[in-house]
Structure 1
Amino acid sequence: MERSIENIWKEGFQAEEKLSAPVISNLYKRKSKLVIQQIKNRSKKDNLSLIPVALIMFGVLAFIGKALLGLYVVVLISALFFLNKKTLKNLEAIDIKTNTYEYLITYRNQIKNITTKTTWLLGIGLPIAIIPAYWIFFDGTKVMTNFKELALGIEILIVVGMTLVLLLLGVLSYRLSTRMMYARLLERLESTIEDMEELMKNSFGK
C-alpha cells in the first residue's frame, strides 16, 4: 500500500503545492478520517462509561449508609463527564478542510495539549477532591476521633503524605489507562503523519 501510494504521488505531485495531487490527497484524507473517527468513537465511549460508574458508586455508598459521600462522588464524576464532553466538542470543531497534513498536526497537538492539561488536573484536583471524601467517609468514626487526637504536626504530615500519594496515583493511573486504550490509535496517527512527511521530503528531493 505504501509503495503504491508513493508511486502515485511521484507521478502526480506538483512541487509548488504540497499534497495537492488529487489521488494522494484523497487516499490520505480517507485514511486520516478513519483514524480520527476511531479515536473519537473510543473517546466518546470512554466518557459515557462515567455515567454508570457514578450511579454504581452512589448505589454502593448509599447502601452502606454514606449517601452524602455518594452524592459528592456523583458531583465529581459528573463534573469530569461534562469537562470531557466540552473537550471532545473542541476536537470536533477541527475541520479537515483541504490540507490533510495540517489537520493531522493540529489534531495531534490538541491531543497532546489535552493530555498535559488532564495530567495537571488530576495531579492537583484528585487530592483536593479525595481528601474531603475521606473526611466525609470517616466522619463520626473512631478513625476520625483518633486522627483529631494526634498532634497538629502529625496531622499535617499525614494529610501531605496522602496528597502526594493521591497525586502520584492519579497521574500514573491516567497515563496507564490512556496508553492502554489509545496507544495503538495514536501510533497510527503518528505513523500517518510520518508517512506524509517522508513523501513530501522525497518528492521535494527529486
Structure 2
Amino acid sequence: MTKSIEAMWKEGFVNEACLTAPKINDLYNRKSQNIVDKFKDMFDINIKAVIAGSLIMLIMMSFIGAPFLGIYIFCLLIPLIIIAKMELKKSVNLSKGQSSYDYLMNFNCWLESSIETYSGYYKVFYPLFFLGMAVQGIVSQAGGKLISLLVEVLPTDIIILGQPYYLVVAVVIVTLIFARSAEAIYRWDLNIVYGRQFKKLAELIADMEELRK
C-alpha cells in the first residue's frame, strides 16, 4: 500500500539523505536557520543598545550633577557587555554542518546556558544598581531635605553611617529583595523582549520531534 503523507514526512525527516520528502527537509532547514539568525540579530542589537545606553547614562548623569552615579552604572554595564559578546561568539561557533534538528537543539542548549550565565550576573547587577541609586538619593540635596523631614516625623538617636537606622535598614532590606528576586526580574524582562521568539523556537522543536517519532 502506498505510504501515507505523514509517514513520508517522518521518513524524510529522520533520514535527511532520503529524497522522499526533500521539500520538508529543506523547509525545516530554512526555518531552523531563520529562527537562529533572528535570535543572533536580536542579541547583536541588544549589545549595541546596552553600549549606547551606558554612554547616554554616563553623559546624562554628569549633566544632572551625579557624575559618580553615571560612572558607577557605566561600570556595572561593562561586565554585561563583555558577557554578551562572549556568549554571542559562542553561538557563532555552532556547527551548521549537521541535521537541522541537531543544529536547532545545540542552539537551544547554548541559549539555555547563556540565559543561566546572564542570570548569574543579574543577581549582582540588580541589587548593586538599586544600592547605587539609593545612595545617590540619600546624598543628594533633595534627598537630604526628605531625610530631615523623615527624622522630624520619626526621631531617633540610633544613627548608622550618618543616617537614621531605619533608613539604612530599609535600604538593606530592599537590596536583599532585589538580590533574591533578580532571576525572576531578569526572566520577566527577557520574556518581554524575546518571548515571541522563544515561543516560535519551542514550537519548531516540538514539530521536529513529532516528525522524528
Shorter-chain TM-score bucket reads: 0.7 to 0.9
TM alignment of 1:29-178, pairs within 5 A: 29-132=29-132, 134-135=134-135, 138-139=138-139, 142=144, 143=147, 148-149=161-162, 154=166, 157-167=169-179, 170-178=182-190
| C-alpha contact 2:69 2:132 (8 A) present in aligned 1 | no
Which of 192, 197, 202 is matched with 1:185 structurally?
A: 197
Deviates more, 1:34-43 or 1:172-181: 172-181
- CA offset digits 1:15-42 (Å, max 9, x no partner): xx64433524332211100111111111
1:105 is displaced (CA, Å) by 1.1
- CA offset digits 1:107-153 (Å, max 9, x no partner): 1122122223322321234213542453355347635997534576x
Runs of at least 4 residues off by over 4 Å: 5-8, 143-147, 149-152
- CA offset digits 1:58-96 (Å, max 9, x no partner): 122111221122112112222211211111111111112
| Aligned residue pair count | 194
User: Alpha carbons of 1:6 and 1:47: their partners in 2 closer, same or farther (altered >3 Å)?
Assistant: farther
SS of equivalent to 2:173: helix
SS of equivalent to 2:96: coil
Q: Which amino acid aligns with 1:13?
A: G
| C-alpha contact 1:123 1:168 (8 A) present in aligned 2 | yes
Corresponding residue number in structure 1 for 2:155: none
The answer to which structure, 1 or 2, has the higher relative contact order (CA under 8 A, 6+ apart) is 1
- CA offset digits 1:156-180 (Å, max 9, x no partner): 6334312233235643442222112
Q: Which runs of 5+ in 1 are unaligned?
A: 202-206
Counterpart-to-counterpart distance in 2, 1:85 and 1:137: 33
1:49 is displaced (CA, Å) by 0.7
Corresponding residue number in structure 2 for 1:204: none
SS of equivalent to 2:29: helix
